[in-house]
Homo-oligomer: A and B are copies of this chain.
Amino acid sequence: MSPAPAAHDTKTAILDAAEAVFAEVGLARASIRRIVQRAGVNLAAVHYHFGSKEGLIEAVFNRRVAPVNARRLELLAAVEAAHPEGALPVEAVLEAFLRPMQEAREADGRADHLRRLYGRLVGEPSESVGRMMSRQFGPVLQRFGKALKRAVPEVPEPVLLWRLLFTVGAAAHLMLDPLVFKKLTRGRCDPRAGAEGLAELIRFAAAGMRAPAAAGAGEGDQEEGS
């Protein structure tokens, strides 16, 4: 629990550099050599502090992604506390889900490593990352599925889960490559500018959540008649 300050500096430098390189080129193409060069530390330091490249990936993941999901649940609990009974506002639930990524980036001060890191992780083919994502996201998505059911009770929960996953995909895509957005809207929509993209996404997703479900969707194990 009391690492020497020097160790802390080296370790943090590696984590910061790894995060940036992962965000830029993806996990597979990010070589340890490239990371240590950026961090200004020795090659062997990575294996000393993290054991392996996979260990480094897990450390980056745990430092950044886990707190965001914890924050999501925290904000959702606040929304639920503010509305102890009756319907929850859809926009508030969606904001609880989407804002923590934006928050983390702002609090951190660094460029937009964080945003792109999330975008990369969502689509990452590696099995170990997939397991980490599932373990972290599974419970969170289930939890938000229940909350959305309270927000839009007329839509069956399985359908709301579909829509929540659509929202996750849209968010991941939004974080992945700001340049595409900027170019296609002739510079008028730049996700790096701040919360504009987030606000647009919340409006879009909230309307989608409220769309009437298809006839027959969500039947069966739903408790709504025989």
Which residue of the partner chain B has the closest CB to A27?
B28
A83 in contact (CB, < 8 A): no
Judge whether A189 and B162 touch: CB under 8 Å.
Answer: yes
Q: Determine the chain B residues whose CB is within 8 A of the CB of A25 once the complex forms.
A: 125
Residues A159-183 near B (CB distance < 8 A): 159, 161-163, 165-174, 176-177, 180-181, 183
Judge whether A26 and B125 touch: CB under 8 Å.
Answer: yes
Known contacts A185-B162, A205-B208, A208-B204; is A122 also within 8 Å of B173 by CB? Answer: yes
State the oligomeric state as a number of copies: 2
A206 in contact (CB, < 8 A): yes
Chain A positions 192 through 219: 1 when the CB is less than 8 Å from some CB of chain B, otherwise 0: 0000010111011111111111100110
- Nearest-neighbour CB distance to chain B for A173, whole angstroms, equals 2
Q: Determine the chain B residues whose CB is within 8 A of the CB of A200 once the complex forms.
A: 159, 162-163, 166, 214, 217
Q: Determine the chain B residues whose CB is within 8 A of the CB of A163 once the complex forms.
A: 200, 204
A220 in contact (CB, < 8 A): yes
Q: Determine the chain B residues whose CB is within 8 A of the CB of A24 once the complex forms.
A: 125
Stretch touching chain B among A41-49, A70-78, A99-107, A134-142: A134-142
A158 in complex: contacting residue of B172, B188, B206, CB < 8 Å: B188
- List 5 A-B residue pairs with CB atoms under 8 Å apart, sorted by A's residue number: A158-B185, A163-B204, A166-B200, A169-B169, A208-B208
CB-based closest 6 A-B pairs? A169-B173, A207-B211, A28-B28, A26-B125, A123-B123, A166-B170
Known contacts A120-B125, A207-B207; is A173 also within 8 Å of B172 by CB? Answer: yes
A224 in contact (CB, < 8 A): no
- Nearest-neighbour CB distance to chain B for A47, whole angstroms, equals 21
Q: Determine the chain B residues whose CB is within 8 A of the CB of A185 once the complex forms.
A: 158, 161-162
Judge whether B220 and A211 touch: CB under 8 Å.
Answer: no
Chain A positions 21 through 60: 1 when the CB is less than 8 Å from some CB of chain B, otherwise 0: 0001110110000000000000000000000000000000
Judge whether A125 and B29 touch: CB under 8 Å.
Answer: yes
